[in-house]
Structure 1
Amino acid sequence: MNRTARLYALVEELRATAPRPLTVAALAARFEVSTRTVQRDLQALMEAGVPVRTAPGRGGGWSIDPEMTLPPIHFTADEASALAVALAAADGCTPYADAARTAAQKIAVSMTGRASAAAQELAARIVTLPSPSDSTVRTAVEHALTTKTVLRLSYIDAAGRESHRVVEPAGLLTADGRWYLIAWCRTRQAGRGFRLDRITGAAPTTEQAQPKDLTELLRDSAAAGAVHPTTLAPLTPSSRKPKAPLR
């Protein structure tokens, strides 16, 4: 068994016995490897964001939170390759890029066989040109969107003018390889789009933002024709009807 397959099997072994912990010795015997190898594998899973944990002392060992992990997912080679390409596109300027990176690691751990080989082979042939980015700004934008809180921005527009805004984030727009924060701007008393790479400073607040309809904020703007990506359709709650293309 190669290491990738063993990492996947370790996760499933811990899932099968959860919440009861397993000792390193028991796992080493199960997979016929040394305890040092198991320790290295478990550490790799932790670094990849897999929710494995250890409890010291008598009756302790390693366990996993089954509610925070996925059951086995069987990807086809084409699906695995598509995921490799999509996750590779999440560079430093992409919202939630850090989460995308750990998701890629978790997916890699879960794949075996032809799917794993296809993803690894394609990943070896994808390169990117790093772009300068401010992770502090990206993190603040992500936090404001997730917590639905007000955000204070310093922004430079296309003409090079800097302004300071207080905004209520509503969502994200992607177009032509750029990402925009769509928000209600209290300074302008109107919906506005802020290109993420032009935000020079972002300070989170604890003030709750008023709910804003993304469709309404985009109405009569250059992005009025924006639509929800079809790849995200399965994530939309079934109780909500899909919105028509924006006009």
Structure 2
Amino acid sequence: MSKSKRLMELMMTVNRMRKFTVKELAAEFGVSSRTILRDLQELGELGVPLYSEVGPHGGYQVLKERILPPIAFGVDEAAAMFFASHALRHYLSLPFEAESSSALQKFYYYMPGDVRDRIDEMKNRVDFHARDRRQKVDCLGLLLEAAVRQRVVTIRYGSKKEDSERSIQPVGIYASNGFWYCPAYCFLRRGFRLFRCDRIESAAFDETGIEPLDHRHVHLGNWEEFGRKERIDVRIVAELSREGVQRCQGELSHVPHIEVREDGSGRLDQRVPESELPYFAKFFLGLGGEATVEHPERLVADIRRLLAELTAKYGTM
């Protein structure tokens, strides 16, 4: 095996292993311990963060901030990776803000000149827009870490009604319409709730000793199923024009269940938490004639009340 090939495979091997000894690597690659020591020194000079420990139980290990082995990309694959990361610039806050910027700079810098030229030509031709929100969120990294490690977080949360301190166990985080959201188990409410991250005024890992729940089976794809067991749902039925369908699909935080007809109009039929009816009353009022709510009667009554308030406010002008 040539030296260059051995170094490449050695880099991939040490990235894969948590801890190793020179003797183990020498046996795996069929070379002397002295050769492996020289190879490890070269990997260190190339940037692989190796750490050594002496003693009978010593050896080598790669530090937490490991580097990945080289990956070969085609021209179109490189462009796809670049723009996937480039699109994140529209978000004021990211859970890995500094890292994504650093990775993008490295990725672009080491591309061949012709690939950089191709990407430069495409920058003004393709984009992925997110709604421009000016709310800065500083706790995204902590919430994501808590979700991955099954940790409890203490937050100060500013809702529409009041500020409160809560202990939550995050499921994950996701972005929608420019906002970041965190589904989490709330120990105060004893159930799953959805928190808007820009309303979290402070967040820190819990130090009171609350025992985390085993939620390894709960994730962003199924958390609502668990939350539905604890909440009261109501069924909303509404007729939608073509524009109404498009606005519901584009503006509601969760993709609604709409039966779309050939002419583009449709019928929304979906169950939602009862607590969200005030939001839907304002939403459907904003759609005007593009939507006709048929059920529930409480939602229709809320829309009428809002309309009467607006009429009283503007009718005398």
- Aligned counterpart, 1:105: 105
| CA distance in 2 between partners of 1:161 and 1:141 (Å) | 22
Aligned counterparts, 1:43-82, within 5 A: 51=48, 68-77=67-76, 79-82=77-80
Separation of aligned partners in 1, 2:75 and 2:67: 24
Percent identical across equivalent pairs? 21
Distance 2:85 2:211 in 1: 31
> What amino acid maps onto 1:84 in structure 2?
F
Deviation track 1:41-74 (CA, whole Å, cap 9, x = no partner) reads x7xxxxxxx646799xxxxxxxx99x73233321
Tell me the residue number matched to 1:149: 151
> Is residue 154–residue 162 contact of structure 1 (8 Å, CA) maintained in 2?
yes
C-alpha contact 2:133 2:179 (8 A) present in aligned 1: no
* CA distance in structure 2 between the aligned counterparts of 1:73 and 1:208, rounded to whole angstroms: 45
Partner of 1:183: 184
Name the residue aligned to 2:87.
89
Number of paired residues?
182
- State the Cα deviation string for residues 129-155 of structure 1 (Å, max 9, x = none): 7845243x2232133123220001111
Q: Find out whether 1:133 has 2:136 as its counterpart.
A: yes
Q: CA RMSD in A?
A: 4.3
Structure 2 CA distance for aligned equivalents of residues 168 and 208 of structure 1:
10
Give, as a single letter, the amino acid of the residue that structure 2 aligns with 1:71. Answer: P
CA contact (8 A) 2:185 2:192 kept: yes
**Deviation of 1:16 (Å):** 7.2
The residue number in structure 1 matching 2:298 is none
CA distance, structure 1, for counterparts of residue 224 and residue 211 of structure 2: 21
TM-score normalised by the chain length of structure 1: 0.55
**Which residue identity is paired with 2:116?**
S
Alpha carbons 1:143, 1:204 under 8 Å: kept = no
Matches within 5 A, 1:1-247: 15=8, 19-22=39-42, 51=48, 68-77=67-76, 79-90=77-88, 91-122=91-122, 131-135=134-138, 137-157=139-159, 159=160, 161-205=162-206, 209-212=212-215, 213-214=218-219, 215-219=221-225, 220=228
Partner of 1:60: none
Query: Separation in 2 of the partners of 1:178 and 1:166?
Result: 22
Q: CA deviation digits over 1:102-125, x for unaligned, max 9? A: 332343355325433333554588
Deviation of 1:181 (Å): 0.8
Q: Which shifted more, 83-92 or 181-190?
A: 83-92
Q: Is the 8 A contact 2:157 2:201 kept in 1?
A: yes
Q: Which has the larger radius of gyration?
A: 2
Structure with the bigger RCO (C-alpha within 8 Å, sep 6+) is 1
Q: Which runs of 5+ in 1 are unaligned?
A: 1-11, 28-41, 43-49, 56-63, 227-246
Gaps of 5+ in 2: 12-38, 53-61, 234-251, 257-271, 273-317
